[in-house]
Amino acid sequence: MTRKPIIKVRDLVAGYGKNIILDGISFEVYEGEIFVVLGGSGCGKSTLLKHLIGLVTPISGEILIDGEDISRCDEKTYQRLIKKFGVLYQSGALLGSMTVAENIALPIMEYTDLPKNFVDTLIRMKLNLVHLNGYENYLPAELSGGMKKRAGLARAMALNPSILFFDEPSAGLDPITSAELDNLILHINRNFKTTMVIVTHELESIFTVAHRVIMLDKRTKGIIAEGDPRYLKEHSKNPFVVRFFNREAEL
């Protein structure tokens, strides 16, 4: 059975002003896949994520979401496309003056005309999914770091997106909380077939959740490895890739 790509990146050149960060990269992400973008510091992981969700316009190339170029579309098309995905930012990005329920309600109220009782039901469903039952009226400051990430994930899933983007989801979490988040990511992927694009350098999480990875390289400004991370760890011909996956310092 042929897998269908839901995201296509073609000859993407990205950067800021004259500073080129990514030079002509191409890849695809398939429906239902957990796809991880990794690499060393300054390789362009966050830059790529900003381009994938339409926050930054590429210098050249195209980024197709379900066949439509998010980087070149008009505002009406962009508003329609962003309903197809949710984003979990590194900090959770919850609004501190709003309760957890109010944060989750934001995209629902913005993009739907559902009555309040339906919205309240959706909020409870999303909180139940991320194991935060009963935390509707808590403020973000009253939550632990892991709970903030899960609340942010509940908000990212508010509109039942077909794609979820994660920016360093394990950053700042202890190993146990990080493992719990990994298990939640796997649960959502398996039960809802949600496509996931995760930007991270946390090896433990990569080996736990990734179906496939691409590794970006600061020096070449391109992709130096692609595939199953477990295979790349043992069989890559690139010495840097092998050192990265095996946490080996350069001699």
Which has more pLDDT, 148 or 41?
A: 148
Q: Is the pLDDT of residue 40 over 90?
A: no
Question: Does 251 fall in a domain?
Answer: no
> pLDDT tens digits for 75-92?
999 999 989 999 998 776
Q: Is the pLDDT of residue 229 over 90?
A: yes
> pLDDT tens digits for 180-191?
999 999 999 999
Tell me which long-range contacts 214-217 makes (C-beta under 8 A, separation of at least 24): 214/27, 214/35, 214/36, 214/37, 214/38, 215/38, 215/39, 215/241, 215/244, 216/22, 216/25, 216/37, 216/38, 216/39, 216/43, 216/44, 216/45, 216/48, 217/39, 217/40, 217/43
Distance of alpha carbon 164 from alpha carbon 185, whole angstroms: 10
Kindly indicate the confidence band of residue 248, based on its pLDDT and cuts at 50, 70 and 90.
Answer: confident
* Torsion 119-123-125-126 (CA) sign: positive
Question: Does 134 fall in a domain?
Answer: yes
Domain count, the chain: 1
pTM, to two decimals: 0.94
Beta strands in 31-123 (DSSP E): 34-39, 60-65, 68-69, 85-88
Question: Does 237 fall in a domain?
Answer: yes
pLDDT above 90 covers what percent of the chain?
81
Question: Does 87 fall in a domain?
Answer: yes
> What mean pLDDT do residues 41-70 have?
94
Domain enclosing residue 199, as ranges: 5-246
Token digits of residue 121: 């039901």
> pLDDT tens digits for 75-134?
999 999 989 999 998 776 889 899 999 999 999 998 888 898 999 999 999 999 999 999
Question: Does 67 fall in a domain?
Answer: yes
The secondary element (H helix, E strand) that includes residue 116 is helix 116-129
pLDDT of residue 89: 87
Residue 120 sits in a domain whose CATH number is 3.40.50.300
Question: Does 60 fall in a domain?
Answer: yes
> pLDDT tens digits for 141-156?
999 999 999 999 999 9
Question: Does 84 fall in a domain?
Answer: yes
